[in-house]
Amino acid sequence: MKIEETALAGVLLLTMPRHVDPRGHFSESWSQPRLAAAGIDIAFVQDNESLSRRAGTVRGLHYQAPPAAQAKLVRVAAGVIWDVAVDIRRGSPSFGRWVGAELSAENGRQMLIPEGFLHGFVTRAPDTLVLYKCSRPYAPECDRAVRFDDPDLGIDWGIAPGRAILSDKDAAAPTLRDAGTPFDWAG
Ligand SMILES: Cc1cn([C@H]2C[C@H](O)[C@@H](COP(=O)(O)OP(=O)(O)O[C@H]3O[C@H](C)C(=O)[C@H](O)[C@H]3O)O2)c(=O)[nH]c1=O
């Protein structure tokens, strides 16, 4: 397993070994013992999948507030995304900073996003299927959103903001400045 650090401590890019043969490939897309052996010991409890029909679909920026805060492990089963995580832990040296990476069915890269971070992605291909593990179950009462084009965050999505395909919820999301954050940096 390849582990790449990012500019945000705790946000990692993981690539699992692929066994390629003339039929295609096989990969253990997730192994709790393999991750634990690498010091990544997160008990995931829920698998999510989202299918986005059109390129340019933006889902996010989302998080669940405590006591339902989620760590996530994101991968792409079909298509391509630009995956983004934003540190929103009050007092963190990287508060308000973001990292992005291209995850695709082709490159097999996964992004590990700890609690205390916003998560969002934009699809770069039609019919993109995103699969991700969550460390706590869905809690609608704790579900929060921050606008993807928040000027204070300055995220480069690679698309013109006006061309993003958004849910009504995401189109109406507040800025981080207006929404605030429930997370404090643990140091
Ligand atoms: C997240 C979630 C949603 N739902 C239901 C609620 C709605 O009826 C429907 C669509 O939900 P939503 O529009 O919030 O889905 P996305 O916009 O893809 O949200 C996700 O996108 C970003 C990228 C994330 O990281 C979050 O996991 C998640 O917020 O699924 C559930 O039943 N369980 C769930 O865990």
Q: Which residue has tokens 């928040």?
A: 150
Evaluate whether residue 119 is within a structural domain.
yes
**Which of 19, 25, 119, 132 is labelled catalytic?**
132
Overall residue count recorded for the chain in this entry: 187
Evaluate whether residue 68 is within a structural domain.
yes
Evaluate whether residue 83 is within a structural domain.
yes
> Is the whole-model pTM more than 0.95?
yes
Question: By the 8 A CB rule, do 49 and 131 touch?
Answer: yes
Grade residue 48 by pLDDT with cuts at 50, 70 and 90. very high
Our answer on whether the CB atom of 175 is closer than 6 Å to any ligand 1 atom is: no
Evaluate whether residue 166 is within a structural domain.
yes
Q: Which residue has the higher pLDDT, 161 or 83?
A: 83
132 catalytic per annotation: yes
> In which domain, by residue range, is 118 found?
2-179
Evaluate whether residue 187 is within a structural domain.
no
- The pair of structure tokens assigned to 170 is 């995401």
Evaluate whether residue 6 is within a structural domain.
yes
pLDDT of residue 160: 86
Strand partners for 110? 14
Q: How many domains does the chain have?
A: 1
This model of the complex carries an ipTM of 0.98
Grade residue 16 by pLDDT with cuts at 50, 70 and 90. very high
- Helix, strand or coil for residue 13? strand
Residue 20 makes CB contacts below 8 A (sequence gap 6+) with none
Which amino acid is located at 87 in the chain? D
With a cut of 90, say whether residue 26 has pLDDT above it: yes
pLDDT of residue 187: 84
CATH of the domain at 84: 2.60.120.10
Q: Whose CA is nearest to atom 25 of ligand 1?
A: 119
Evaluate whether residue 185 is within a structural domain.
no
Q: What is the atom index within ligand 1 of the atom nearest the CA of 169?
A: 13
pLDDT of residue 104: 98
Evaluate whether residue 98 is within a structural domain.
yes
pLDDT tens sequence across 140-169: 999 999 999 999 999 999 998 789 999 999
**Which of 19, 62, 63, 119 is labelled catalytic?**
62
DSSP string covering 49-75, please? EEEESSTTBEEEEEEE-TTS---EEEE
